[in-house]
Structure 1
């Protein structure tokens, strides 16, 4: 056998490179970027890996400049690669021809691109955001009808403002087409007459689950909405495009309801504090005016002191009148923030008073009937009372007797059933006639005919024949 040629290391490396180029043309590979480094030369070096394997890879500067995204550690990508053997380093290497985000990385790239685009257009600017109404009367809700977010919002709103008017526009919040559906339903909701505020959102989920709220169409509808919008998507750590475009971002749906509606109790406390502050201000004005009046009255160099004193008193009266008028205006302004609250309170009190009166009116005939019955018994005397007592006792005894008979019958049925079950377990059988009745005695047996045997483990059909026929069959 001829001895094979001896190759140098360089020759072996060259042959391996040629073999790889011939057997493994450019292929797409999915993996995660790790150890990503951008060299001063503009070339990119990194490791492409998954849970079971890894390759070192290089992306040359000319190709890196054509990428549509900025790669980095931890990103999931799909790379078009050629496998090469790097002789000086003695290792296989991936020569990356092209690269794109994969899966969640692609969604993140779309999110970042849209965020930059809308920010450049000014849709996130605080100056364009509308203030929320201080006392909304009608709130629109844009979420899924069966979602937990809706129940969280309703729970808070009902606790803080029981009489609040709500309009729900149910919409898909996840999946294909959900972003467009959200935008369409927001257009319909904002057309409802009398809306003061809109809350849109959903409960928590993954980045993919919440991606419908990163729709560019939805963002532009929110920005153009004439009604203030609160966005509450997921939890506090989640951030969506709708959160950034909306007039206010809430960390959760429950928090959105709390931000939308102040508690009536807190507003009443603010009104009471305002009333006390105004009262103290009036008192200070009065004290100051009186001190000035006292100083004027004791001044010796004043001409016509009585006239000056009267003028000062009139000035004091004017100051008091202005202070009282100011107090009334401030109270009226504060009262305007509670439209309909006192009216609804009066309506509730009137309604409860009417219900109480109606209930008392319904009790009146019963009270009269009871009083008449007691009076009648009193007039009958001892004999009438005794007869009434005897009838009542007799009725009670009859009812107890009927209940006892019913219980006895039930016990008899239970005992009969238990005895039958016990007998069948011992090997006995039950006979049932053609009509299905239980045959317990010999006189109940027909002369001939079909019978049914009930055994422990099932039922069997039997035939009863006359004695002579039975004897003949036996022979």
Structure 2
């Protein structure tokens, strides 16, 4: 039965209407639909979404493979505005309409975030965000360059909080547009001007919070590259803690707020004075403890007998030296006495053996003129000498009388 032939008397069954809707919707092709993600339920292999119209109170369920959701250039979360390429489908048994999603893209702010993410990945691949390029901030800058909007709350926060911490902090302020199409170009020019100023030791770029569109200029690629090439350390103080423009990643220091930037660029004078006072007290206490310890050590040393009466040690050693000297003298005297006795004995022995001793007893020795001793009367020459103990006499032989020997008696 055709639905056109249905009447009050001959109504069509509900299944016929359902089948007709299913057939009609099945012939529709895929369409691009803009909506908001009201709910998202991710399961293994498949995702179920509830899409809500941006103005009317209308919601339609949808589903897609997890790979479709993962292929999105930016993460999709509940509340995100999206554009989906989907094919409508009607399930007859329960009369439900749904969308089979084939592609999903972030829209509006999500699209901006996706573009920023792609730009971030490209710049990160070049190494612009690496920590090895970060320059340290000076401990106490002689000049602080500040780039901010004219008469802005960010300027007041940075200047006031910095001078509360360090009253003598000098500022070199350059005003620039902090949102809009000309914002990035103005900030780039201010950065170049302050970087060329030798009196500026650190540059602060400060702006209050805002929407993604308001903060978009601080993710401009030209601005990021100019800050990367800057020779002076740059502090980024853009927006609030959740806001992370690309300027935060390339800057040498990221401050969560303009007030936080003031705390980062100068030390707290009162805290430094307190720290210096504490350091002096610790040093004074340490020196006092050292002096007390050394004094106690000296007192302990002075209380020892050797230092209380230094002459005691000298006297004891002097007594030992005197005893040794006396012992040496006695030993030397005994040695000399023994040597004297030995010399006397040797002298007596020599004298006993000496021919002079014999001569002194009345004997004499006859010698030839050349000194040879005459042992026989037959050997006496015509002239000879007779030696006595105290001299000699030259004599002339008158005659020779030889005594008979035992051989002659025989």
- Normalising to structure 2: TM-score of the pair? 0.63
Partner residue of 1:380?
none
Distance 1:238 1:62 in 2: 29
SS at the partner of 2:89?
A: strand
1:124 is displaced (CA, Å) by 5.3
Q: Is this contact kept in 1: 2:74–2:117, CA < 8 A?
A: no
Give RMSD over aligned pairs.
3.4
Q: Is this contact kept in 2: 1:297–1:305, CA < 8 A?
A: no
1:246 is displaced (CA, Å) by 2.9
SS at the partner of 1:209?
A: helix
CA 1:139–1:37: 2 relative to 1, 3 Å: same
1:127 is displaced (CA, Å) by 5.7
Distance 1:218 1:262 in 2: 29
Partner residue of 1:47?
50
Give CA deviations for 1:342-368 in whole Å, capped at 9, x if unaligned.
xxxxxxxxxxxxxxxxxxxxxxxxxxx
Higher RCO by CA contacts (8 Å cutoff, separation 6 or greater): 2
Partner residue of 1:38?
42
Q: Of residues 149, 152, 174 in structure 2, which corresponds to 1:169?
A: 174
SS at the partner of 1:29?
A: strand
Of 92-101 and 213-222, more deviation after overlay is shown by 213-222
Q: Of residues 53, 73, 77 in structure 1, which corresponds to 2:78?
A: 73
Q: How does 1:322-471 map to 2 (within 5 A)?
A: none
Give CA deviations for 1:210-250 in whole Å, capped at 9, x if unaligned.
23223344344444433332222223343333334433332
Partner residue of 1:395?
none
Distance 2:142 2:100 in 1: 64
- Normalising to structure 1: TM-score of the pair? 0.55
Give CA deviations for 1:307-358 in whole Å, capped at 9, x if unaligned.
xxxxxxxxxxxxxxxxxxxxxxxxxxxxxxxxxxxxxxxxxxxxxxxxxxxx
Give CA deviations for 1:37-85 in whole Å, capped at 9, x if unaligned.
3343x33321110352111123356755654344232211012333332
CA 1:291–1:259: 2 relative to 1, 3 Å: same
CA 1:292–1:39: 2 relative to 1, 3 Å: closer
List gaps (5 residues or longer) in structure 2: 312-410
Distance 2:92 2:126 in 1: 51
Distance 1:68 1:10 in 2: 42
Give CA deviations for 1:161-219 in whole Å, capped at 9, x if unaligned.
44433212222221235345434432332222132212112012223322322334434
Q: Is this contact kept in 2: 1:180–1:215, CA < 8 A?
A: no
1:32 is displaced (CA, Å) by 0.9
Instruction: Say how many residue pairs are matched.
Output: 303
Larger Rg: 2
Partner residue of 2:400?
none
CA 1:283–1:66: 2 relative to 1, 3 Å: closer
1:297 is displaced (CA, Å) by 2.6
SS at the partner of 1:135?
A: coil
Q: Of residues 252, 275, 285 in structure 2, which corresponds to 1:247?
A: 252
Partner residue of 2:223?
218
Give CA deviations for 1:363-404 in whole Å, capped at 9, x if unaligned.
xxxxxxxxxxxxxxxxxxxxxxxxxxxxxxxxxxxxxxxxxx
Q: Of residues 248, 260, 275 in structure 1, which corresponds to 2:265?
A: 260
Distance 2:71 2:108 in 1: 20
1:138 is displaced (CA, Å) by 0.6
Q: Is this contact kept in 1: 2:74–2:113, CA < 8 A?
A: no
Partner residue of 2:140?
135
Partner residue of 1:318?
none
Distance 1:170 1:184 in 2: 11
List gaps (5 residues or longer) in structure 1: 307-475
